[in-house]
C-alpha cells in the first residue's frame, strides 16, 4: 500500500476532479463552467504528477489551463449577450442525459471493477527526464515519435491558418 499522504492526495484530487467536472456540466453560467473546467484540468495535471509524468503534467497545465481555458473565456465573452448567458435545460433532456451518463458509468464501471485490480500498487519507475522525452520526440525507430511530432506540427500550422481564415473579418 502506499503512503497515507499519497492516499490523502488521491482523495483530494479525485474529489476535486469529480466535483468540478459535475459542476462544469451542470452550472448554468457558462463562464463558471469554464472556471470549473479549469479546476478539473488542474486536477488532471495532479494525476499526471502522481503518476510521475511530470512533463505531461506541465504540458497539461501550460496548454490546457493556460491556453485552452483562456481561449474559452475569450470566446465566451465574445459570444454571450449580456443577461442571456444562462440556459434553461428541460427536465426531460436532463433526465435522459443523466440516464445515459449513468448507464455509461454502469457499463464502464462494471468493466473496470471486473477487470482491473482497483488497488494495484504503482510499479517503480524512473521518471522520464526531459532529455529522454526530447530524444524520443526527435528520434525514429522504436520508441521514436518524429513522424507524429511532425504531423502534429503540420496540424497545428493548419489550425493556425484555418483559425485565421475562419475567424477573419470579411
Partner 1 sequence: MLLVPAMIMFCCGVYGFITRRNMIAILISLELMLNAVDINFAVFNRYLWPEATEGMFFTLFAIAIAAAETALAIAIIINLYRSAKNIDVRDLNKLKY
Partner 2 sequence: MDATLPILILAIPLGMFLVLGLAGCKMSHKMAGVLGCLGMGTTLVLAYTTAFTYFFSGSPEFVNAAGERLQAVIFNHTWLAFTDKLVIRLGFLLDPISAMMLVVITTISFMVHLYSMGYMRDHHGVYERGFQRFYAFLSLFSFSMLGLVVATNIFQMYIFWELVGASSYLLIGFYYVKPSAVSASKKAFIVTRFADLGFLIGILILSYYTGTFNFTELTSAPVEGMADVFNVSETTALSVKSIFESSATPVFLGGSVLTWALVLIFMGGMGKSAMLPLHIWLPDAMEGPTPVSALIHAATMVVAGVYLVARLFPLYLMEVTALEFVTWVGAFTALYAAIVACTQIDIKRVLAFSTISQIAFMMVSLGVARPEFHHGLGYMASMFHLFTHAMFKALLFLGAGALIHAIGSNDYTAMHGLRKYMPVTHWTFLIGCLAIAGIIPFSGFFSKDEILSSCLGNSTFIYIWMSLVAGLTAFYMFRLYYLIFWWKEHKIPEGHHAPHDQPWTMSLPLVILAAISLVAGFIPFGKFVTWNGHPYDFMAHFDWSVAAVSLCVAIVAIVLATAMYRKENPLPDKFRAALPRLWEWAHHRFYWDELYLFITHKIIFDRICRPIAWFDRHIIDGTMDAFATVTHAASRAIRPLQSGQVQLYVWWYLLGALALGGITMLCLL
CB nearer to partner 1: give 8 or 89: 89
The answer to whether 78 touches 87, Cβ cutoff 8 Å, is no
Quick one: which of 33, 36, 55, 31 has its CA closest to 45? 55
Q: Which does 107 bind (CB under 5 to 8 A by kind): partner 1, partner 2, none?
A: partner 2
Task: Compute the least distance from the CB of residue 141 to partner 1, in Å.
Answer: 13
Considering the rule CB under 8 A, would residue 100 count as an interface residue with partner 2?
yes
- Cα-to-chain-centroid distance, residue 47: 10
Contacts with partner 2 in 23-82 (CB under 8 A)?
none
| Cell matching residue 3 | 503512503
Q: How many residues does the chain have?
A: 170
| Cell matching residue 18 | 469529480
Q: Which does 110 bind (CB under 5 to 8 A by kind): partner 2, partner 1, none?
A: partner 2
Considering the rule CB under 8 A, would residue 112 count as an interface residue with partner 2?
no
Radius of gyration from C-alpha coordinates of the chain: 20
Q: For binding to partner 2 (CB under 8 A), which residues are involved?
A: 100, 103-104, 107-108, 110-111, 114
Amino acid at each position: 500500500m502506499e503512503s497515507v499522504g499519497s492516499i490523502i492526495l488521491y482523495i483530494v484530487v479525485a474529489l476535486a476532479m469529480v466535483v468540478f467536472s459535475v459542476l462544469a456540466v451542470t452550472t448554468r453560467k457558462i463562464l463558471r463552467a469554464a472556471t470549473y473546467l479549469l479546476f478539473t484540468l488542474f486536477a488532471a495535471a495532479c494525476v499526471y504528477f502522481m503518476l510521475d509524468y511530470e512533463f505531461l503534467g506541465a504540458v497539461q497545465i501550460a496548454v490546457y489551463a493556460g491556453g485552452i481555458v483562456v481561449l474559452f473565456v475569450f470566446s465566451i465573452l465574445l459570444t454571450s449577450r449580456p443577461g442571456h448567458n444562462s440556459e434553461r435545460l428541460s427536465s426531460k433532456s436532463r433526465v435522459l442525459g443523466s440516464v445515459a451518463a449513468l448507464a455509461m458509468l454502469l457499463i464502464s464501471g462494471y468493466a473496470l471493477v471486473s477487470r482491473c485490480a482497483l488497488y494495484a500498487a504503482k510499479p517503480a519507475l524512473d521518471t522520464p527526464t526531459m532529455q529522454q522525452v526530447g530524444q524520443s520526440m526527435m528520434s525514429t525507430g522504436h520508441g521514436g515519435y518524429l513522424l507524429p511530432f511532425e504531423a502534429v506540427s503540420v496540424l497545428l500550422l493548419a489550425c493556425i491558418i484555418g483559425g485565421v481564415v475562419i475567424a477573419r473579418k470579411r
